[in-house]
Amino acid sequence: TLDGRPVRPGKDFYRRVQGVFQDPFSCYNPVFRADRVFDLIRRAYHPGVSDKEWAGRVEKAVRDVRLDPGQVLGRYPHQLSGGQLQRLLIARALLLDLSFLVADEITSMLDASTRIDVLNLLAVLKERGLGVLYITHDLALGTYLAEKTVVLRRGRVVERGDTQKVFGNPLHPYTRTLLAAVPRLNTPWTEAEPLEGCAFHEAGSPDTDLYETEPDHFVACAQLPDCGRTSA
């Protein structure tokens, strides 16, 4: 659901929900100028807006993503960096009545300095009320942005909840293994310590696939995939 209403994909849905994906270069046709992505939005959603008003909206959206319109508008994709192209795609989404942004690995193809710029931009947009679903395999960047975390294993949820609780006290072996794989400065790289018990089963007979071990911290069976008690 979105705002309590069933999701029905269509023009109204995409006006409010947009995605920005891993490879910004593949989102542009190299024979057209990069800002053609704005023209496509205009044709589909704002055909009645005058040229002058639309130009003003585009410039504002570009500035909102911390780009200089004079340096990026009218350029071809090969004349811009990956970070600039990624931010133009975010600006494109802002030209709609956006309430939810799916950010799928949007920093994995960017250099380190550009990554933090894009993440800071998403943080600013969140403060303005935009909902962001950040899909990533980079746990360090995930903790930087996310208030809540969902850990998936083979497409199923094994742990979820408040980010500080999930990462500060990981209760599922898969989560612990993921966190143990993150390098830390001046710290020996060791494997995750095994769990002695399973919080899911120690709770008795939970009626759901996830057991709430503490407020806003849920975990699945630690014996996955061997245990058949959960759908995971």
Q: For residues 122 and 119, give the distance between their C-alpha atoms in angstroms, rounded to a whole number.
A: 5
Tokens read off for 22: 């891993």
pLDDT in tens, 95-105: 998 899 999 99
Q: For residues 168 and 174, give the distance between their C-alpha atoms in angstroms, rounded to a whole number.
A: 14
Q: Give the pLDDT of residue 230.
A: 38
Beta strands 131-135 and 148-153, pairing class: unpaired
The more confidently predicted of residues 111 and 72 is: 72
Q: Is the pLDDT of residue 20 over 50?
A: yes
Instruction: Judge contact between 115 and 33, C-beta under 8 A.
Output: no
Q: Give the pLDDT of residue 3.
A: 67
pLDDT band at 219 (very low <50, low <70, confident <90, very high): very high
* Average pLDDT of the chain to the nearest whole number: 86
Query: Rounded mean pLDDT of 198-221?
Result: 82
Look at residues 121, 106, 83, 81 and name the one whose alpha carbon lies nearest to residue 20: 106
Order of strands across the sheet that contains 217-219: 148-153, 156-162, 217-219, 211-214
Q: Give the pLDDT of residue 13.
A: 86
State the distance between the two ends of the chain, measured CA to CA, in whole angstroms.
23
Burial of 144-167, coded b for 16+ CB within 10 Å and e otherwise, reads bbbeebebebeeebbbbbbbebbb
The residue behind tokens 């400065």 is 185
The more confidently predicted of residues 5 and 26 is: 26
Q: Is the pLDDT of residue 126 over 60?
A: yes
The more confidently predicted of residues 108 and 49 is: 49
pLDDT band at 231 (very low <50, low <70, confident <90, very high): very low
Look at residues 219, 182, 215, 181 and name the one whose alpha carbon lies nearest to residue 197: 219
Domains of the chain listed by start with CATH number: 1-146 (3.40.50.300), 147-232 (no CATH)
